[in-house]
Chains A and B, each alone.
Chain A
């Protein structure tokens, strides 16, 4: 396993711009999760996919946020019209069919909105 990877690791953007983050899960992991972590807090669940299907979305995921996993492998998280309150670490995790209870996390993408 090469681990969950995320790109970019850091992103600085101006308020109102759109940003897109990518997550590559561990190969053969069918579930992929997105979380948001603000400073001094634990991660908060945003959404998750089983294969290409988005099965659950948190109320935290406003209509400016959209996530996709078109081929059931990598996923993208897009934030449109970014706001300063979107500044956070965005974490991706994945799990495999035989052990769905265990999520493996990537290093995260740290977003700063100026």
Chain B
């Protein structure tokens, strides 16, 4: 059974960078017909897709966040990462990592999510 687990600091100061990692177990980030993505949910709000990548390096971002987002993959550790620059309080959210199909972009496996609070 594929499992995804987010990890990273739960508290980030304004203007600093947010860094999260998603460890994948029970399957490989390499190959297949899947992308690996990040989604977030601010408190009391809906889900927002941040971006996705394919293990070979193709990366796709939400245009509203593109200039601040870096998504990367480490196939040797079977994990992928998110870096969000220059955070503000508006970036406070539960951050999820998930796998989605190449065709149709349906997210079939999700992590439990990790709350990141931006505060001084």
A pairs with B: no
